[in-house]
Amino acid sequence: HAADAHRTDLMTVTRYVLNEQSRHPEARGDFTILLSHIVLGCKFVCTAVNKAGLAKLIGLAGETNVQGEEQKKLDVLSNEVFVKALVSSGRTCILVSEEDEEATFVDPRLRGKYCVVFDPLDGSSNIDCGVSIGTIFGVYMVDKDLDKISLDDVLQPGKNMLAAGYCMYGSSCTLVISTGNGVNGFTLDPSLGEFILTHPDIKIPKKGKIYSVNEGNAKNWDGPTAKYVEKCKFPTDGSSPKSLRYIGSMVADVHRTLLYGGIFLYPADKKSPNGKLRVLYEVFPMSFLMEQAGGQAFTGKERALDLIPTKIHQRSPIFLGSYDEVEEIKALYAAEQ
Ligand code: AHM
Ligand code: MG
């Protein structure tokens, strides 16, 4: 019966993407090849994260990243693995990584039509204590002569992304992706070394009972954020208060929000008027996934995927999650005007 079929008819992520491609008769398998290189990077990072304590990989590599933070060895390693895997796929032309100040323009001989924006290891403050961390990525496609590419090709609104996803290195290794036709989750079977479809067609609950925010910043929040969080704790409509969950790893906080419903907020505050999270490789991919799962993503001003970035490491406030929760936030911002 069904359970047996599930056990013997394994839907790997590669098989899934190949199936997806058959919907596009013009596709020549380039995206599948690109994805298999991203998946390789995720598997490597998963192994490295699992061995971190043992292999003494934890510790400072003596370098500082673009945002001036200390870079951990695992970040450096993960970044190198992803850059090399993506370049060697022969399917990429521009790479933007959180760890590299400048975008990488791939050697013309190895160029392909995809641009990949990624945060190879997000949630760095959680590395040393073994709490879930993750990789986030988004994919754009350029439709021009590959000798004529420029930074503008990655400074596109998130709605132009072709695909987005994340891999969470938690109690299991979970890859969640969308190629613009819903969201699917795959779990790494370590004995097979394959990601197997375990969460088909993920839909976020329309309403949620959980809010997720760093409340330590409350002192500096703007009016709508403060009002929303106050309502979560002291609802005035007779509903029960919401639960607070905050891991401090975007991938883990967003993953829970996607599966259980609720809202994840990284708002602006007086100290950081643009919030903390980066548009290209944090805000966009997660917003893309949320919309594909039936939720919403809002910056406090507009639909997150409509934002047109002007710098590769630009930041933006973000509110994403269940449809109804984001509607409430939007109403509070509209009332401010
Ligand atoms: P990082 O790139 O230094 O890891 O920072 C990004 C992380 C996100 O994963 C998470 O949502 C956020 O920072 C948490 O920030 P804070 O510690 O300010 O709450
Ligand atoms: Mg990050």
Bridge partners, residue 196, by sequence: 12, 187
pLDDT tens column, 79-96: 999 999 999 999 999 999
Tokens representing 175 are: 């890859």
CB 60 within 8 A of CB 76: no
The helices-and-strands tally (H runs, E runs) of the chain is 8, 15
pLDDT at 1 over 60: no
Q: Say what the pLDDT of residue 329 is.
A: 98
pTM comes to: 0.94
Label residues 270-292 b or e (16+ Cβ within 10 Å = b): eeeeebbbbbbbbbbbbbbbbbb
Q: Which residues contact 2 (CB under 8 A, 6 or more apart)?
A: none
Q: Which residue's C-alpha comes closest to atom 1 of ligand 1?
A: 123
pLDDT tens column, 137-150: 999 999 999 999 99
Ligand 1 nearest atom to the CA of residue 69, by list position: 3
The answer to whether the CB of 220 is under 6 A from ligand 1 is no
Ligand 1 centroid–CA 30 distance in Å is 33
Q: Which residue's C-alpha comes closest to atom 17 of ligand 1?
A: 248
Confidence of residue 198 (pLDDT cuts 50, 70, 90): very high
The answer to whether the CB of 250 is under 6 A from ligand 1 is yes
Confidence of residue 332 (pLDDT cuts 50, 70, 90): very high
ipTM reported for the complex, 2 dp: 0.97
pLDDT at 184 over 90: yes
Confidence of residue 7 (pLDDT cuts 50, 70, 90): confident
Ligand 1 centroid–CA 251 distance in Å is 10
Q: Say what the pLDDT of residue 51 is.
A: 81
> Measured at the alpha carbon of residue 248, what is the angle toward residues 194 and 77, in degrees to the nearest 5?
50
Helices 323-336 and 223-233 pack at an angle, to 10 degrees, of 140
CB count in 10 Å sphere of residue 89? 21
The answer to whether the CB of 124 is under 6 A from ligand 1 is yes
Looking from the CA of 102 toward its CB, the CA atoms found within 13 Å total 4
Average pLDDT, the chain: 92
Over residues 47-63, mean pLDDT: 68
